[in-house]
Each structure stands twice: as structure tokens, then as C-alpha cells.
Amino acid sequence: MTRTIDRFRTSLRTLRRARRHRGDLAGWLVRRPQLAASVLTFETALLLSNRVDPHLKELAELKTAALVNCEFCLDIGSALAHSAGVTEQQIADLPRYRTSPAFDEVEKLVLAFAEAVTTTPAVGI
């Protein structure tokens, strides 16, 4: 429970410090209340799920944000990833994670999975 509270505090602190793109999300969510409810539900579930190491979750989220080119997600995600132990070298090497020595085998598998589930249109593996 303490770990969840710490992650919640880190998320709030990071969002408060964000200077760029913070208004983008708020603007979208105000105009789309169903989307706001969905995002709130998803983010709460993600925050409370403790089965996966936060370091791996943040890596996957950051890779996905890069693939879908979401500037808000990249901005906030990189700060959250840094607080979860993701190094600057890992963030810089995300586009070439397969060959980068900054990632171990488990991290590479997580990133490959994030890449596969983000592919549009979905294709068989």
C-alpha cells in the first residue's frame, strides 16, 4: 500500500511541475466527459496495479507514447519514468532498444511487447 501511495504522490508532483502540454489533456477531457471517465478509470487501475514492476510499466508507457507521438505522454511519462528508475540513457536509447546495452533482456521483452500492441493496424506475431 505504501508503494501505491508513493507512486500516486509522484504522479501528482510530476503533473504539477509539467509546464508543457498539461493544458492539452485538460482541454480534451473537459470537452469529452466519457473520455475523461475512461482515462480516470484506466489511470487509477494502472496506478493501483502492483503486479508489474513500476520501472517496467514506465518503460512500456514511454515507448508507447513515443510510438503514438503523444507529446503530453512523453513529457509527463519521461518524468514519471525517471522517478521509477529509468535512466537518461534508456530514455535516449528507446528508438534502438533492441541493440542498446542500456536494457536487459526483460526490459527488451517489455519494450517489444509495448511495440507489438501499439502497432496499427494490428498484425499477427
Asked if residues 23 and 52 have their Cβ atoms less than 8 Å apart, the reply is no
Q: Identify the CA nearest to 73 among candidates 113, 17, 36, 18.
A: 18
Residue 8: all three cell numbers together: 500516486
| 31-88 tens-digit pLDDT | 888 877 887 888 788 777 777 888 898 899 899 999 988 887 888 888 888 888 899 9
> CATH homologous superfamily of domain 2-118?
AhpD-like (1.20.1290.10)
**What pTM value is reported for the model?**
0.66
* Mean per-residue pLDDT over the chain, rounded: 82
What are the sequence ranges of the domains in the chain?
Answer: 2-118
Asked if residues 43 and 65 have their Cβ atoms less than 8 Å apart, the reply is no
Instruction: Specify the higher pLDDT residue, 121 or 19.
Output: 121
Asked if residues 50 and 6 have their Cβ atoms less than 8 Å apart, the reply is no
Cα–Cα distance, 60 to 44 (Å, whole number):
17
